[in-house]
Amino acid sequence: TPSAAGSAPESPLLSLPAEHQHVRYNPLRDDWVLVSAHRVKRPWQGQLEKPPPEDVPRWDPKNPLCPGATRANGEVNPNYEGTFVFPNDFPALQPDAKEPDDSDHPLFQAAPARGVCKVMCFHPWSDLTLPLMSLPEIRAVIDAWAELATELGASYPWVQIFENKGAMMGCSNPHPHCQVWASSFLPNEARLEDRTQRQHLSQHGVPMLLEYAEQEAYRKERLVVENTDWLVVVPYWATWPYQTLLLPRRHVCRLQDLSDSEKDSLASIMQRLLIKYDNLFEVSFPYSMGWHGAPTGPYLEEDCRHWQLHAHYYPPLLRSATVRKFMVGYEMLAQAQRDLTPEQAAERLRSLPEVHYKKRAE
């Protein structure tokens, strides 16, 4: 077991057989994950999920994200033909929220929380997802992400771009879209990654995730896809079964700092990864993903060299399109635990074809 957070386990666990349980350290979150690969063999009599519908209509006037549809607040969407950004009709953050009352005790603290929430549709067709879109269409999504990060990041410290894909991940609408929340504060994950990356640069003289990408590109055992500018790995410390980390090869702090050629190659590697995800169980693969980069707003004037741009993909599926990984019990009360090694997950993803299963017969 770990002797302390950030310290090495007492025994040389990496020399043990792959299926022997062991713990792995996540330097980005300063925590540990229990790897128990043999548990994936246990019989399953638990909950089975419903596969996503295959008959989503391309356009539905009742779908509030479709072109020309009426949303809950009565506004009518334009007949958009590319990406479409609009204010979230039910925002978690608002720019004019009142200040909370002063606390009378250190155990009962509150702080101001202001911001804006936007929705971005990727495409006018509801029956498309990113892996089924063309490279120019995906590039348009990336451009819109960078524009929003620049616009909102001019004043807000944190701009969180995230996509919840599939009903299993809480997505309430079958239409290709994501959300963008800008906040007046650094959220927990951002604060944590800021601290760990700052410490790594101070101690080792190189940004953590830049060094990590170089190591994974050399080792290749957790590599899923790569190109000139990017690589995707199942991280050594992955928690979710087929979790991946998308990393640039050069040092870049923010999404809006990417060159045109890097945006083109990002569109390509995203398409390749997401096709592999769909091909794994031949289903529209559910996940939550999001971009992390250096804070913005007042941080634009500060030294943020410790940051490295990256995207997290967190898919829940474990054994099939209907059996998911649950984060309950031990995971909620002790620490994260996974049922197959990251190396096994990476090998399976890496070996999958890069032609989408829906297009093989074309």
By three-state DSSP, how is residue 273 classified?
helix
- Do residues 317 and 243 lie in contact, with contact meaning Cβ atoms separated by under 8 Å? no
Secondary structure of 259-301 in HEC code, one letter for each residue: CHHHHHHHHHHHHHHHHHHHHHHCCCCCEEEEEECCCCHHHHH
Q: Is 134 annotated as a binding residue?
A: no
Phi and psi based region of residue 115 (left: phi greater than 0; alpha: psi -120 to 50; beta: remaining): left
- Do residues 95 and 114 lie in contact, with contact meaning Cβ atoms separated by under 8 Å? yes
Q: CA triplet 347, 348, 349: central angle to 5 degrees?
A: 95
Q: Is 347 annotated as a binding residue?
A: no
Catalytic residue check, 200: no
Q: Is 75 annotated as a binding residue?
A: no
The Cα 198–Cα 193 span in angstroms is 8
Q: Is 238 annotated as a binding residue?
A: no
Q: Is 304 annotated as a binding residue?
A: no
The catalytic residue among 22, 177, 200, 356 is: 177
Q: Is 325 annotated as a binding residue?
A: yes
Q: Is 88 annotated as a binding residue?
A: yes
Q: Is 42 annotated as a binding residue?
A: yes
- Give Cβ neighbours of residue 259 (< 8 Å, ≥ 6 apart): none
Question: Is residue 361 classed exposed, middle or buried when 0-12, 13-18 and 19+ CB atoms within 10 A define those classes?
Answer: exposed
Q: Among residues 292, 325, 326, which one has the least CA distance to residue 311?
A: 292
Q: Is 331 annotated as a binding residue?
A: yes
Q: Is 104 annotated as a binding residue?
A: no
Q: Is 33 annotated as a binding residue?
A: no
Q: Is 203 annotated as a binding residue?
A: no
Q: Is 292 annotated as a binding residue?
A: yes
- Do residues 156 and 183 lie in contact, with contact meaning Cβ atoms separated by under 8 Å? yes
Q: Is 242 annotated as a binding residue?
A: no
By three-state DSSP, how is residue 282 classified?
coil
Catalytic residues: 177
Q: Output the known binding site.
A: 39-42, 72, 88-89, 164, 170-172, 179, 193, 292, 310, 312, 325-326, 330-331, 337
**Binding site feature residues for UDP-alpha-D-glucose:** 39-42, 72, 88-89, 164, 170-172, 179, 325-326, 330-331, 337
Point out the annotated binding site for Fe cation: 193, 292, 310, 312
